[in-house]
Amino acid sequence: MAFTNAQFSLTDKVAIVTGAGGRGNSIGRAYAFGLSNAGASVVVADINGEGAQRVAGEINANGGKAIGVQVDITDRASVAAMAEAAKQAFGGVDILVNNAALMAELKFGPTISIAPEEWNRVLAVNLTGALNCAQAVVDMMRARGGGKIVNQVSMGAYPATSVYGISKLALVGLTHTLARDLGPDKINVNAIGPGQVKSDAGLFLTPEGGGFEQRYGPQVAMRLRGDPDELVGALMLLVSPAGDWITGQVLNVDGGLIMRA
């Protein structure tokens, strides 16, 4: 069958995006709008329930279909309620984007000195939270004949120099494991590895003119920073029929900052 752009359509699909209702100019918000623009009904999920409702309202005002749901991805009952809300509103789930994470909230320092409670908190959100969400929706995906899961990793995993990087490198491992586990069910599991994004959170951590450019500028093949919307094309490939033969991969969207053979 010849390829056509129709293979990027998400008409009649239902997507959950976690971490999509927090800071205003966020990757999660860009993902939610991108999925909606491709035809999907979107569950905007965030621990900030008001933010989730706000982004869902913006999508609906733009002609899309969305609901906002408050969720704590470390709480399995809360995650189950999110999945049930998707089922009640739209009939099920075809796409899960595990975007929620702790990053800007963290204090970066030597991992050897990290308090156990902080270590556990970061892994609970950035790693176990993704597994909780996948487990909550996988049966609905199986019932619908398959699905797509995309985990948000990071350039911070290469190399992992903090608990944040460790959590994202572990999420790469979870991506590979789930891809093998769920392949027979026609559920693709991949990851996107953003570079330095000009989101509110990204600019909070590395403000322009703060030394980030001097350190990493010479290493990048193209632009060092990108906008949140520049990640959406990668997401569309991984969650649409165009990406049906892609699984277990990390797609780095970073201007060529992270290059590995």
For residue 88, count other CB atoms closer than 10 A to its CB: 9
Q: Please state the separation of Cα 61 from the chain's center in Å.
A: 23
Question: Residue 55 and residue 50: Cα distance in Å, rounded?
Answer: 9
For residue 190, count other CB atoms closer than 10 A to its CB: 25
Is residue 252 a contact partner of residue 230, using CB atoms and an 8 Å limit? no
Instruction: Using CB atoms within 10 Å of the CB of residue 252, give its burial: 0 to 12 exposed, 13 to 18 middle, 19+ buried.
Output: buried
31 is annotated as an active-site residue: no
Question: Residue 208 and residue 200: Cα distance in Å, rounded?
Answer: 12
| φ/ψ of residue 255, rounded to 5 | 70, 10
Is residue 232 a contact partner of residue 27, using CB atoms and an 8 Å limit? no
Catalytic residue selected from 31, 158, 164, 216: 164
Active site residues: 164
